[in-house]
Amino acid sequence: MTRRLLSGDYPRSRMLATLLLLILAGLAFAPFAFPGTRSLDVAAKVCVFILLVASYDLLLGYTGIVSFAHTMFFGIGAYGIAIAATRLGPTWGSLVLGSLVALACSALLSLLIGMLSLRVKTIFFAMITLAVASFFAILASQLSGFTGGEDGLTYKLPQLLLPGTKLLEAPLFGVEINGRIVSYYIVFFTAAALFLALLRVVNSPFGRVLQAIRENDFRAEAIGYRSVIYRSVANCVAALAASAAGILYALWLRYAGPDTTLSFDIMIDILLMVVIGGMGTMYGAVVGATLFVIAQTYLQDLMKLASDAAAGIPLLPDLVHPDRWLLWLGILFILSVYRFPAGIVGKLRGRQ
Amino acid sequence: MSNLLALSGVNTRIGHYHILQGVDFVVPQGGFTMLLGRNGAGKTTCLRTIMGLWKASAGRIDFDGADIAGRSTPAVAQLGIGYVPESMGIFAGLTVRENLTLAARDGPIDEKRLDWMFGLFPALKKFWHLPAGHLSGGQKQMLAIARAMIEPRKLLLVDEPTKGLAPAIIAHMVEAFRELKRTDTTILLVEQNFNFARSLGDTVAVMDSGRIVHSGNMGELAGNEALQYRLLGLSLDAHQ
């Protein structure tokens, strides 16, 4: 059962397996173990980013494609839900329609980008994706009548997913079971299922060909594999998964805007998460996204505690002042990349 | 004996350089043809042009009755041509098993053929689940050859399989190729080690400055030292 679920790709490190189980348990029981709006927001964001980062790992880690258009596909998913819910009303039908249109757009656009530009060298492909993604972001902010422009779109969801909807009369383990909990579990189970599907893809014969192309595309061609076709399909699968992550994020936030889905900052975050977790491992997406999102959310709180505790000591309170959280986040990332050049998963697996 | 491969008037340019300047030679069906020549004569370019990795700017490459010049590399490979490049080109991050599974394009590896392959290269069985990057130079070369042979191919192109290998490994390689020869596989092998070439080749073509300067039976060249010296010069001395 476990073998089939993980497609035979075990963590191959006791410490990594423990870490993954802890993350899985933490996310599965988040509404009960960490009650509160903020912690549930963090857990949902972790689920969405695990899927988003895993889909980027399929591109960067397994196929060797550097793309800056990943947030564009993430945004297409989010805007698909947002536009459908705004225009057609908060019904399940509009959500399904919005999702399907978004996925179809992503598939078409990614195949088009892939077939037209994956023949060029890595750096040129990266530049093309950067240009397309920038164009799309500008388009989203300019078409304000359709996309809400810089303000984005805020919309309602079907009754079942609203915070005011109570599913049980009495609280369960002290937590009120409402539409927010239903939304969270939709995000959690969909992200988990799609992550396992991506794990299946990279461990399939198709995934092996992608790794062969990443290592030596001429040699893969000499064996008889058309690298452009394989790269384009990988690009399309990754785009679909990124769009699915966007759909989940839009379901959770009930808002879609350029800053939450299309910004270049998110692209940089994804790259950092892949590198910190470990490229070409899939499990690196789980570890990288969890650590990054938690650090991004709670570092300021931790620093406030440290700053208060160090009151009276010269210089130290200023150094760990919450306003300097980005500086410390940066230092933490530099240290982690220096300490774990193959990523955390690579390092843990290397120990075995 | 009919010819499986025939090159006529093949020209290849790489940038401003005119590397192949009208190459003509044939590879008989079921035979072992050696392509010899000094460094820079154009032997590797010749194999790469056959595989479509470099495009021929002029001439014909007839394989099994069809002109394959200008076809894409995957299309050439799918016709049944296996290629073992000089750099071996193994996928270092994949295991020995995965390397061979990838090469078996038409489905799962045939068990009988795999057993036969293990007989030729026992090290591959021993390191079946090891990433190929951890193998020694000789083992990597064995894997590269095994990968080209894992499915029956009509033609096998092998580029300098003995380069940088210890004499004991070369002797093992000779045995492996002899075994392969018994299966009637047609092989075109580029080599600088004349002793190796002499022990295996049926026919020979010698290149110099992008042209074929001699072709015929290996026995004829092997028995004529003056011809050897004239055609192969220092490269012969270096390997004797």
CA atoms of B236 and B238, how far apart (whole Å): 5
Q: Which of B73, B98, B103 sits opposite A221 (nearest CB)?
A: B73
pTM: 0.89
Token code pair at residue A267: 């692209």
B103 at A interface, C-beta within 8 A: yes
First to last CA, chain A: 24
Helix axes A92-117, A70-88, angle to 10 degrees: 150
- Please indicate whether, in this complex, the C-beta atoms of A219 and B78 are within 8 angstroms of each other: no
* Residue with token string 């010069």: B233
Q: Which residues in chain B have their CB less than 8 angstroms from residue A212's CB?
A: 91, 94, 102
Q: Chunk chain A into consecutive blocks of 10 residues (it has 352) and report each block's average pLDDT, rounded to whole numbers.
A: 89 94 97 93 98 97 94 97 96 97 97 82 87 94 93 95 88 90 97 98 95 91 92 96 98 95 94 94 96 92 89 87 87 86 90 55
* Residue with token string 């192949």: B20
CA atoms of A133 and A136, how far apart (whole Å): 5
CA atoms of A251 and A186, how far apart (whole Å): 9
Of residues B232 and A251, more confidently modeled: A251
Percent with pLDDT over 70 in chain B: 97
Element (H, E) at A255: strand A255-256
A215 at B interface, C-beta within 8 A: yes
pLDDT at B240: 47
Nearest CA in chain B to A205: B102
Element (H, E) at B208: strand B203-208
Q: What is the CA radius of gyration of chain B?
A: 17
Please count the other Cβ atoms lying within 10 Å of the Cβ belonging to residue A70: 26
Q: Which residues in chain A have their CB less than 8 angstroms from residue B78's CB?
A: 224
A66 and A60 Cβ atoms separated by less than 8 Å: yes
Q: Which residues in chain B have their CB less than 8 angstroms from residue A221's CB?
A: 53, 72-74, 77
Element (H, E) at B213: strand B211-217
Distances (CA, A) of B153 to A34, B79, B82, B105, B157: 61, 9, 6, 12, 10
B174 at A interface, C-beta within 8 A: no
Q: Which residues in chain A have their CB less than 8 angstroms from residue B98's CB?
A: 208
Q: Which residues pair with B28 in a beta bridge?
A: B3
Distance from CA of B222 to the nearest CA of A (A): 33
B142 and B176 Cβ atoms separated by less than 8 Å: yes
> Minimal CA–CA distance to B34: which of B199, B178, B167?
B199
* Cβ under 8 Å to B: A residues 173-202: none
- Please indicate whether, in this complex, the C-beta atoms of B91 and A209 are within 8 angstroms of each other: no
Best A219, A226, A231, A349 member to test B by mutation, with max B CBs in 10 Å, is: A219
Q: Which residues in chain B have their CB less than 8 angstroms from residue A224's CB?
A: 74, 77-78, 105
Concatenate the DSSP letters of all residues of A181-196 into one string: HHHHHHHHHHHHHHHH
Examine the pLDDT at B105 and tell me if it is beyond 90.
no
CA atoms of A216 and A226, how far apart (whole Å): 12
Examine the pLDDT at B234 and tell me if it is beyond 70.
no
Examine the pLDDT at B101 and tell me if it is beyond 70.
yes
CA atoms of A220 and B93, how far apart (whole Å): 14
Which tens digit of pLDDT belongs to each residue from B60-87? 999 999 999 999 999 999 999 999 998 7
pLDDT at B1: 65
Mean pLDDT, residues B161-186 taken together: 85
B24 and B36 Cβ atoms separated by less than 8 Å: no
A209 at B interface, C-beta within 8 A: yes
Best A9, A203, A213, A221 member to test B by mutation, with max B CBs in 10 Å, is: A221
**Residue A47's Cα: distance from chain center in Å?**
7
Q: Which of A205, A215, A223 sits opposite B93 (nearest CB)?
A: A215
A183 and B18 Cβ atoms separated by less than 8 Å: no
Q: Which domains does chain A have, with CATH numbers?
A: 2-351 (1.10.3470)
B25 at A interface, C-beta within 8 A: no
Q: Which residues in chain A have their CB less than 8 angstroms from residue B74's CB?
A: 221, 224-226
Which tens digit of pLDDT belongs to each residue from B150-170? 888 999 999 998 887 888 888
Element (H, E) at A300: helix A283-309
